[in-house]
Each structure stands twice: as C-alpha cells, then as structure tokens.
Amino acid sequence: MSKLSLLFTKGGLQWKVGKKSSATEKSYFKDENASENFILEKLEEALQEKKISRIEVICALNHFAMMPYGFDQHNLAYPLISYNSTVDENHEELMLAINKNHHVQFYYTLPKNIYSRIKKTKLNVLFNFSGEKFLSQISIKKNTPQIHIHLYENQCEFFAIKESKILLYNNLDSSAEVDFLYFIMFSVSKLNFPMEKTQFYIYGNVRENETFLSELQKFSSNVKIIRENIKNQFNFILQ
C-alpha cells in the first residue's frame, strides 16, 4: 500500500505516489483552454491510483496568515487571512498548521470542494500548509541573515530569518519572475538585512525560474541552490 502526496498550487496540482525508485510523480497546470473544473478533474485522476492507503495534502495557495505559536483566537483566522487575499468563508475550509520548533503557526484555507472530495475517500489524510512543510525541511544557519526561497511554477514562497528567528514569510503568485525578485529585495531592505552578508538559499523549480535566479545573482554573490526539482521525477516538497 502506498501514500499519495498531493500539492495544490495556484492553478496547479502535482502528486506523487509510491516510494523512491518505484515512485510516480505527475504535474498539471491550468491554462486558458482548461475547463473550469480542471483541478478537480486531475484530483479525481490522482485518487484513482491503485493501492493508496493514506493521503498527504500540501496546500501552497496564498490564502494564509502566519502567527506566533499558541495564538488561539481562531475566530480571527478568516479576517487575518483576508489581509493577504480575498476570502470566501462559504467556499474555503479553514485549517491550521503548527511548527513548534520555530514557534509559528499558519492559518490557511483549501477550497471546500477539494477538501470534501479528499475526505470522501475515507482514508487517513494529513493536511498541511506548504510554508510549514518547507520550514520543517530547511536547515537554518545561526546568526546569519538568510532568505530561503521555494520556487514553484508561477509562484514562490520565502522565509526571512535572522538569529534563528522567523521574521517574515510570504507566498506570492505571478507569471513574471521579476515580481518575485522585487518582493524579496523589498523585504530584505525593510528588514535591514545587509546585502553583502545575507545568504540566499534556493529550492524547487530552478530551471523554470532561470530569469529570477540570474537577476538575483546580480544583486548577491551569496546565492546557493539547495534542492532542485526535476519535473515529474523529483519534487522536494513531496518527499
């Protein structure tokens, strides 16, 4: 029996089933010719994979709010998320992901039609937010100002960290890679990170974001690729 891992991004669904050399990975992204229910249709395909015993769901949609660990005013979750994105409470399922090691938690939402279809399988399901899983997989260098950047297709998320403390997390979607660069450089400036000392660590879809990488390297020589995805073969966030 196998685990099915599902990753929901802006207009996309990627999944992995199986282990190591026998694993299968697939990715689908919505374009102008896709049907309105494209993601649900691809989810249905994924759920038809044979011998699935459990499901891991990773939501990378940018409907989120990061709060200190222990924040318990859950009635404020939707209003907090609305500062980042417009929220439709009738059609979005509210969830909570916690990272105790770094003393943060994330409120996030998943479309209710997707949530309901997954729950309908009656399998054991673990829901998580991409920011939490990304944070749990990175190695933080003490005392060094650092930006950890996870690149998707037409999307990126990043953490700004100093002295082992999470100062900022953001999740952005855009078809223009320069937008990612602008937001990250703006954050570095606002946090007063000295550019010559700030380390930039890159993960994910590097080849699909070569413009972003080359432009970032013009600003800093401290850029290092940590984990690079290979389409339909290896996606580090699904491991």
3-state helix, strand, coil in the chain (%, to 5): 30, 40, 35
pLDDT at residue 141 in the model: 80
Using an 8 Å Cβ cutoff, are 147 and 200 in contact?
yes
**pTM, rounded to two decimals:** 0.95
pLDDT at residue 82 in the model: 97
List residues bridging with 96 in a β-sheet. Answer: 107
Using an 8 Å Cβ cutoff, are 202 and 152 in contact?
no
Flag residues of the chain having pLDDT under 70: none
> Rounded CA gap, 170 and 184, in Å?
9
Secondary structure class of 208 (helix, strand, coil) = helix
Using an 8 Å Cβ cutoff, are 70 and 116 in contact?
no
Residue 178 CA from chain centroid, whole number: 19
> Rounded CA gap, 185 and 56, in Å?
33
pLDDT at residue 212 in the model: 95
pLDDT at residue 74 in the model: 97
Using an 8 Å Cβ cutoff, are 50 and 3 in contact?
no
- Could you write out the DSSP letters of every residue in 10-45? TTEEEEEES-GGG-EEEEEE--TTS-TTHHHHHHHH
pLDDT at residue 1 in the model: 82
Using an 8 Å Cβ cutoff, are 97 and 168 in contact?
no
H helix or E strand, kind and range, residue 223: strand 223-228
> Rounded CA gap, 40 and 36, in Å?
9
Kindly list the structural domains of the chain, giving each domain's residue range(s) and its CATH number in brackets, ordered by start: 1-135 (3.30.420.250), 138-228 (3.30.420.260)
